[in-house]
Chain A
Amino acid sequence: MERARIEAAVIEILAQQLLLQPEEIAPEAVIDDLGLDSLGKVEAIFALEERFDISIPFNANQPDQPDFDFSSVPRIVMGVERLIAQRAA
Chain B
Amino acid sequence: MRRVVITGIGTVNALAPDAPGTFRALRDGRCGIAPLGFRDADRLTIRIGAEVRDWHAADRFAAGDLPLYDRVTQYALVAGAEAVAMAGLPGDLGSRGGVILGTAAGGIQTWEDSYRAVFADGRNRVSPLVVPRLMHNAPASHLSIRHGLTGPVLAVASACASANHAMGLALQQIRAGAAEVMLTGGAEAMLCFGGVKAWEGLRVLAPDACRPFSLGRKGMVIGDGAGVLVFEAEDHARARGARVLAEVAGFGMTADAGDIVTPSAEGAARAMQVALADAGMAPDEVGYINAHGTGTLANDRAEAAAIRAVFGGTVPPVSSTKAMHGHAIGATGALEAIACVLALTEGVLPPTIGFLEPDPDCALDVVPMVARQARVAAALSNAFAFGGLNAVLAFRRG
> Which A residues are closer than 8 A to B by beta carbons?
37-39, 42, 45-46, 55, 57-63
* Contact yes or no, B45 A61, CB < 8 A: no
- Quick one: given A59-B203, A61-B206, are A39 and B217 in contact (CB under 8 Å)? no
B207, A39: Cβ atoms under 8 Å? no
CB-CB < 8 A to A61: which residues of B? 204, 206, 217-219, 295-297
Residue of A nearest to B219 (CB): A61
Q: Contacts A39-B260, A45-B203; is A60 near B297 (CB within 8 Å)?
A: yes
Interface string of B258-272 (1 = CB under 8 A from A): 011110000000000
A11 to chain B, nearest CB (A): 21
The reply on B202 being an interface residue by CB < 8 A is yes
Q: Could you say which residues of chain A place their CB within 8 Å of the CB of B241?
A: none
- Interface residue? B201 (CB, 8 A): yes
Residues of chain A with a CB closer than 8 A to B298's CB: 38, 60
Q: List 27 A-B contacts (CB under 8 A).
A: A38-B261, A38-B262, A38-B298, A39-B260, A39-B261, A42-B202, A46-B201, A55-B45, A58-B203, A59-B204, A59-B205, A59-B206, A59-B218, A60-B202, A60-B203, A60-B219, A60-B296, A60-B297, A60-B298, A61-B204, A61-B206, A61-B218, A61-B295, A61-B296, A61-B297, A62-B218, A63-B297
Interface 1/0 per residue, B285-301 and A, CB below 8 Å? 00000000001111000
- Listed in ascending order, the chain B residues whose CB lies under 8 Å from chain A are 45, 201-207, 217-219, 259-262, 295-298
Neighbouring B residues of A42 by C-beta, 8 Å:
201-203
Instruction: Give every chain B residue within 8 A of A45 (Cβ-Cβ).
Output: 203
Which residues of chain A are near B295, meaning CB under 8 Å? 61
Q: Name the distance in Å between A40's Cβ and chain B's nearest Cβ.
A: 11
- Contacts of A62 on B, CB cut-off 8 Å? 218, 297
Give CA–CA (A57, B298) in the complex, Å: 19
Cβ distance A43 to chain B, nearest Cβ, rounded Å: 9
List of A residues within 8 angstroms of B262 by Cβ: 37-38
When distances are taken between beta carbons in the complex, the residues of chain B under 8 Å from A46 are: 201
* 8 A-B pairs with the lowest CB-CB distances in the bound complex, closest first: A61-B219, A60-B203, A61-B297, A61-B218, A42-B203, A61-B296, A60-B204, A58-B203
- Find B219's partner among A37, A57, A59 (CB 8 Å cutoff): A59
Given A58-B203, A61-B217, list of 4 further CB < 8 A pairs? A37-B259, A39-B260, A61-B206, A61-B219
**Shortest distance between the CB of B276 and any CB in chain A (Å):** 30
Most buried by B among A39, A46, A57, A61: A61
